[in-house]
Amino acid sequence: MKQYKLKTTKIEQKAVDTYKKIEEGVVKGYQEVEDAVVGAYKKIEDKFVDAFLEEDGNDMK
């Protein structure tokens, strides 16, 4: 069976390309925020573990 796709004009392709650039920028921004939040959480978690917990020598299996 043959495969088909919609024909696009130059204007339509330019709109799609512009949308993709905007999308990439937004996704990159959200990823940076998420990385910052997760990084901050990990620092807090590590400080909590260092301050209040100690290893008991038993490994969980």
Residue 56 has pLDDT above 90, yes or no: no
Is residue 57 packed enough to be buried (19+ CB in 10 Å), middle (13-18) or exposed (0-12)? Answer: exposed
Give yes or no for a contact between 13 and 21, defined as CB atoms under 8 angstroms apart.
no
CA distances from 28 to 14, 19, 42, 52, 60 (A): 21, 14, 21, 36, 37
pLDDT confidence of residue 61:
66
Whether pTM > 0.75 for this model: the answer is: no
What average pLDDT does the chain have?
A: 93
Higher pLDDT, 49 or 57: 49
The percentage of residues in the chain with a pLDDT greater than 90, rounded to a whole number, is 77
Q: Distance between CA atoms of 49 and 58, rounded to whole angstroms?
A: 17
